[in-house]
Amino acid sequence: MYRHMVPMTTFALVTATLYSSATFAQVSPSNSDGQAVHKAAPVAQPLTLSEAIRLALQFSPQIVANQQELAASEGAVIQAGARPNPEVQALLEDTRRDSRTTTVQLSQPIELGGKRLARISVAEAARAQTAVDIEGRRAQIRADVADAFFAAAIAQERVKLAQASVDLSMRGTDAVSKRVQAGKVSAVDETRAKVAHAGVRLELLQAQSELRSARQGLAALLGPASAVRAQTLVWQSGVQPAARNLEASQLSDVPVLRQARLEVDKRQAMVELEEARRVPDVTVTLGAKRDQQVGRNQAVIGLAIPIPVLDTNRGNLLQALRLHDKAEADFQATRIRVETEWVQLTERQRFAQAEVDVLRSEVLPGAESAWQAATTGFELGKFSFLDALDAQRTLLQARAQYLRALNELYRTNANIDRLLGTSGEEQTTSKP
């Protein structure tokens, strides 16, 4: 019964493909100026979710900043692998030519204890963190765009619903006015109808204001060059998020946990670096010495080894160990937080999906049928105006509740995408 009822009622606005008023103006055959507008403004193409995500990722200054940071970390890895520079030294003893001694020597510091490999490990861990941070940032942007996109789409549906409600209320008000003129009902009923109509008009103004705000929020993510496209959205209300079937143990690959695990790895590499620094480096010296009094050249060979008595790098090692312990504790805390948030989000998604299904399959058809019967009965004089008004109010509330539930479903799914680092457009399913 519900499928036959939809084309005859304004509820078709909720389940139809979402287009803005500008799109309708371009394709309407009854608009004589529509073709000229369509030709003059080709840039206002309908915006899909995937296109919105692409534009946001292309525009995002944060992504550019993270990419520059990743490029900078490449330089840190290169520098970490650099070896100490040799040193050339020249000594002149005595300024008199006959007794002068000239020494030229080359000194090369040699790192021991694996310092160079430890430095490289620290730099590579930092680079991996930056790469994961970029992935997390991209996932955050995708989720933000999906959230803003569906918020604007739902707000646009609310405007259409509010406009349909105004039309519906106007029909009821006209019917009451006719019956008042015919002397069949009291003038009080007409006053009630006008008050109800004024309330619906206020809801329309509020819905239009929320739509403007939602479009501005989406446009801010797309950038100024693409902001105009936020005015025209293409979205099907029958395409809804699919439930994720993941166990808590499968959440180890989410970006925030990977970031925490890499922090533990980097801190471990820093511990190894501080341990390596406790091993003193040696400096090998090779050179030649010219003694004018002796009249010959002499080889100079030297070896310098610091004695680790006063400074054993114990403080830096202790700091690195404690920071490693802190990173381990932070990782465990992050894992617990992710698992808890995952359970809460999946439960919210199941409830929102169940609410949407019940509203679509039971509540809305029932409210639609009750309104049709009350309206027909009122026109035939079988029901009072209060009965028709209550049925109308119930229908409008059911439609508004459906949109709220649908908005909560998409918002919850966007939060899941933020957590998992996935794209909302990859996890959708079609609902009849």
According to the model, what pLDDT value does residue 225 have? 65
Chain centroid to CA 242: 18
Give the per-residue pLDDT at 7. Answer: 32
Q: In the prediction, which pLDDT does 240 show?
A: 55
Q: Which of 83-92, 151-160, 341-350 has the lowest mean pLDDT?
A: 151-160
107 three-class SS = strand
**Residue 380, pLDDT score:** 73
Cβ burial of 161 (10 Å; 0-12, 13-18, 19+) is buried
Q: Between residues 298 and 171, which one has the greater pLDDT?
A: 298
Task: Please give the CATH architecture assigned to the domain spanning 2-430.
Answer: Up-down Bundle (1.20)
- Check pLDDT > 60 for residue 219: yes
Per-residue pLDDT, 31: 43
pLDDT at 38: 41
- The residue with greater pLDDT, 138 or 10, is 138
How far is it, in rounded angstroms, from Cα 333 to Cα 399?
42
Mean pLDDT of the region 146-157: 84
The alpha-helical segments, DSSP class H, found in 6-60 are 12-15, 21-27, 34-40, 49-59
Please state, in angstroms and rounded to a whole number, the distance separating the CA atoms of residues 419 and 342.
Answer: 8
Name which of 134-143, 160-169, 405-414 the model is least confident about.
Answer: 160-169
Q: What percent of the chain has pLDDT over 70?
A: 79
Residue 12 in this model has a pLDDT that exceeds 50: no
**What's the rounded Cα separation, in Å, for the pair 179 and 177?**
5
Write the pLDDT tens digit of every residue in 27-63: 333 343 434 334 444 445 677 888 888 888 888 888 8
Phi/psi at 408 (nearest 5 deg)?
-65, -35
pLDDT on residue 326: 95
Coil/strand/helix, residue 305: coil
Q: Check pLDDT > 80 for residue 146.
A: yes
Place of tokens 């569906």: 150
Q: CA 221, CA 256: separation in Å to the nearest integer?
A: 22
pLDDT of the residue at 145: 86
Are the C-beta atoms of 337 and 343 separated by less than 8 Å? no
Q: What are phi and psi of 290, to 5 degrees?
A: -110, 115
Q: What is the pLDDT of residue 22?
A: 31
Mean per-residue pLDDT of the chain: 78
Quote the percentage of the chain above a pLDDT of 90: 23
Read off the pLDDT of residues 249-303 as tens digits, 9 standing for 90 and up: 567 788 889 899 999 999 999 999 999 999 999 999 999 988 877 778 888 899 9
Nearest 5°: phi and psi at 287?
-170, -170
The predicted pLDDT at position 53 comes to 83
Q: How many CB atoms lie within 10 A of CB 228?
A: 16
pTM: 0.67
Average pLDDT over residues 330-359: 90
The per-residue pLDDT for 87 is: 93
pLDDT at 245 (0 to 100): 57
Give the pLDDT confidence score for residue 334 in this predicted structure: 92
351-378 residue pLDDT tens: 988 888 898 888 888 988 887 888 788 6
Given a cut of 90, whether residue 393 has pLDDT beyond it is no
Q: Report, as an integer, the average pLDDT of 329-340.
A: 92
Between the ranges 71-80, 200-209, 230-239, where is the mean pLDDT highest? 71-80
Domain ranges of the chain: 2-430
47 and 264 Cβ atoms separated by less than 8 Å? no
User: What's the whole-number mean pLDDT along residues 155-173?
Assistant: 79
If pLDDT is split at 50, 70 and 90, which confidence band does 230 have?
low
Average pLDDT over every residue of 206-222: 87
Q: Mean pLDDT throughout 75-80?
A: 92
